[in-house]
Structure 1
Amino acid sequence: MRKLETPFLASALFMMSVAYAAEESPPRLLTEPVATDVMVRVVAHGAMVLGDEVGGARVTITDVATGRLLASGLQLGEPGDQNQIMRTPRLMEEPRYSTRPSGSFHATLHLDRPTLVEIAAQGPLSYPSAVQRASKTVLLIPGRDLTQDGIVLDLNGYIVQIENPPPGESLMAKDDVKLKASVRMLSGAPVRPHGDWDSRKATIYGEVLIGDRVIERLQMLYAGEKSSFEAPFFVPSPTEAPHGIALRVVAADGAGANFGMAQANYPVLPEQLRPAKK
């Protein structure tokens, strides 16, 4: 019986080795450019994909040797499945962002040789004050497509917006005003206590400035609404702030490597201009 098995085993091993060699054999010599698909995903660091909600991201692919722009365009689409991205355990090689529909940028390049490229992205495009940029250098091989998650570019930061008082609005001297701001991940995901993006891990504070001088620092607390934080402050007099004041809100998570800021200017009116009570 053992003699009968030996030829069969040898034949099977031979066929497997042929198949493996065929799979791993180098591509044929190129006589013309070969279409090569490149998938890029721009994501908020520690969060979701930059999609339509935040204006997406701009992506460029540049030949490092020549400086020639090979492809450019916008990443648009959905931010992805929060449960899959944030809560599902996976092996390192398993895709994170492409298991469900999510925003991406796709380009087909025609390459006639291995090409070193720089892939760069900036976003979120709907929030210019929060825009960040990231890039990677990647060697592309003709005919070897980049699929699934593709090249993932992380953008670090927060979208911080001052909501009250509205930027540029005149403030009355000596008034007690509530500073209110929203803080979100660059993908638009909400920052709040006990959430996937836990505000307790970040320091969120406000500052009142006269010129470049900080005259008061405010501890901003969660306002009970999605991504909203607030703190009260007193408006200084026009004598103290003849050119008005600035309000600054900072969100900082050193461990998570995300930082964001918003700032707005406000004229200060003297108390004498306060409308008389009827």
Structure 2
Amino acid sequence: MKKSILFLAVLSICMNAFATETKLMVRAKAKDAKFVGSSIGGAHVIVRNAVNGEILAEGNTTGSTGNTDLIMKSAHERYTQLSDDKTAGFLAVVDIDEPTFVRVEVLSPINKKNAQVHASTELWLIPGKDILGDGVVVEIPGFVIDILKPNTHQYIALESISEAGLSIEANIVMMCGCPIQKDGIWDSDLMEVKAIVHKDGAAFAEISLDNPAQNTFTGTLGISEAGYYQITVYAYNSKTGNTGVDKINYVVRG
């Protein structure tokens, strides 16, 4: 028994002795926007052995969203590097002793569960052959949408709703946290933002939301009856095909 344990220990040491440190830079990039970094909490990265599921490295992307002019305003030729040493990323350092097929999983943005996307890709890692620079860039589609008014499960007295109606307000940003506003780089005029309303499980209304201030979208919903209401706010950009959704439920009491 002792000899078996000793043999396994020696075998493990020998295997580790042949393992080679290999670096892989992983970045999460919002669709039609910049890199997901510290300003929105980062993206969570898991690098797994694709064959047996073993986690080889894990951590969050940190750093800035990157150079706006380079990423969003410049034409990109082949081999153009979009990142620099300050751009958000996660440097995975793994020890492998043979070419290993890995799955790179990205959960982004890690702190916004209602908008979080799980994206992944796969590639071969070769011992000692680092993949740096931009590294592996995983695209994160969507918008981060937070409905601010009404509140989730808010009870609202019918008599408190003005003749103008109930205010609907949502905060919307790109998946990297980049701002949306009229005539901005991320122009709200190119986006369709609407609130779909259901009452007691049936379709009730659909209204367009305006963008009076950066990231803020508002509208007014006429309500004359008590009931259980659900609001679904969506954003859609026909140029990019980018979409995002948030939902809340509230109650109007008579």
Name the CA distance, whole Å, in 2 between partners of 1:126 and 1:92.
Answer: 34
Bigger strand share: 2
Q: Which residue of 2 aligns with 1:258?
A: 242
Map 1:36-185 → 2, pairs under 5 A: 36-96=22-82, 98-99=83-84, 101-173=86-158, 175=161, 176-185=165-174
Shift of the 212–92 alpha-carbon distance from structure 1 to 2, 3 Å rule, reads: farther
The one-letter amino acid paired with 2:194 is Y
Q: Which has the larger radius of gyration?
A: 1
Q: Which residue of 1 aligns with 2:12?
A: none
Name the CA distance, whole Å, in 2 between partners of 1:147 and 1:115.
Answer: 17
The one-letter amino acid paired with 2:222 is F
Taking structure 1 as the reference length, the TM-score comes to 0.79
Task: Provide the secondary structure at the position in 2 that maps to 1:144.
Answer: coil
- Structure 1 residue 231 and structure 2 residue 219: aligned? yes
Q: Which residue of 2 aligns with 1:22?
A: none
Task: Provide the secondary structure at the position in 2 that maps to 1:130.
Answer: coil
Q: Which residue of 1 aligns with 2:201?
A: 212
Map 1:185-224 → 2, pairs under 5 A: 185-223=174-212
The one-letter amino acid paired with 1:103 is A
Question: Is the CA contact (8 Å cut-off) linking 1:84 and 1:99 kept in structure 2?
Answer: no
Question: Is the CA contact (8 Å cut-off) linking 1:81 and 1:100 kept in structure 2?
Answer: no
The one-letter amino acid paired with 1:192 is Q
Name the CA distance, whole Å, in 2 between partners of 1:136 and 1:61.
Answer: 10
Specify every segment of 5 or more residues in structure 1 that has no aligned partner in the other structure, as ranges.
1-30, 271-278
| RMSD, matched Cα | 1.6
Q: Which residue of 2 aligns with 1:246?
A: 230
Percent identity between the two aligned chains: 25
Taking structure 2 as the reference length, the TM-score comes to 0.87
1:197-241, Cα deviation, whole Å (9 max, x unpaired): 122222110122113322000011112x11111111122412xx2
- Cα drift, residue 144 of structure 1: 1.0
